[in-house]
Amino acid sequence: MQQAASDLFADDPATPSVLPLGAQALLLRGFALAQAAELIQAVRQVAHQAPWRHMLTPGGKPMSVATTGCGPLSWITDRRGYRYVAQDPLTQLPWPAMPPAFAALASAAALRAGFAAFAPDACLINRYAPGARMSLHQDRDEQDLAAPIVSVSLGLPAVFLWGGATRAERAQRVPLQHGDVLVWGGVDRLRFHGVLPVAPGEHPATGACRINLTLRRAL
At its nearest, how many Å lie between Fe ion and the CB of residue 202? 26
* CA neighbor of 201 nearest in space, from 131, 144, 146, 147: 131
At its nearest, how many Å lie between ligand MD6 and the CB of residue 23? 20
Contact 209, 156 (CB under 8 A): yes
124 binds, among ligand MD6, Fe ion, none (CB under 5 to 8 A by kind): ligand MD6
Could you give phi then psi for residue 135, rounded to 5 degrees?
Answer: -75, 165
Dihedral of CA atoms 86, 212, 145, 46 in degrees, nearest 10, equals 20
212 binds, among ligand MD6, Fe ion, none (CB under 5 to 8 A by kind): ligand MD6
What gap in Å lies between CA 197 and CA 175, rounded to an integer? 12
- Indicate which single residue of 75, 102, 118, 192 sits in contact with ligand MD6 (rule: CB under 6 A): 75
Kindly identify the residues of this chain, within the stretch 130-149, that bind ligand MD6 according to CB under 6 A: 134, 139
Question: How far is C-alpha 82 from the geometric centre of its chain's CA atoms?
Answer: 17
Q: Does 126 bind ligand MD6 (CB under 6 A)?
A: yes
Kindly identify the residues of this chain, within the stretch 128-147, that bind Fe ion according to CB under 5 A: 139
Taking CA atoms, 177 is separated from 10, 136, 149, in Å, by: 13, 20, 18
3-state secondary structure (DSSP) of residue 129:
coil
* CA neighbor of 154 nearest in space, from 180, 182, 120, 124: 180
Name beta bridge partners: 1.
none
- Indicate which single residue of 27, 68, 214, 215 sits in contact with ligand MD6 (rule: CB under 6 A): 214
- Indicate which single residue of 212, 215, 217, 218 sits in contact with ligand MD6 (rule: CB under 6 A): 212
Kindly identify the residues of this chain, within the stretch 16-55, that bind ligand MD6 according to CB under 6 A: none
Nearer to Fe ion, 48 or 61 (CB): 61
At its nearest, how many Å lie between ligand MD6 and the CB of residue 47? 15
Q: Does 188 bind Fe ion (CB under 5 A)?
A: no
Nearer to ligand MD6, 2 or 46 (CB): 46
Name beta bridge partners: 176.
158
At its nearest, how many Å lie between Fe ion and the CB of residue 137? 6
Q: Which residues bind ligand MD6 (CB under 6 A)?
A: 75, 124, 126, 134, 139, 151, 193, 195, 212, 214
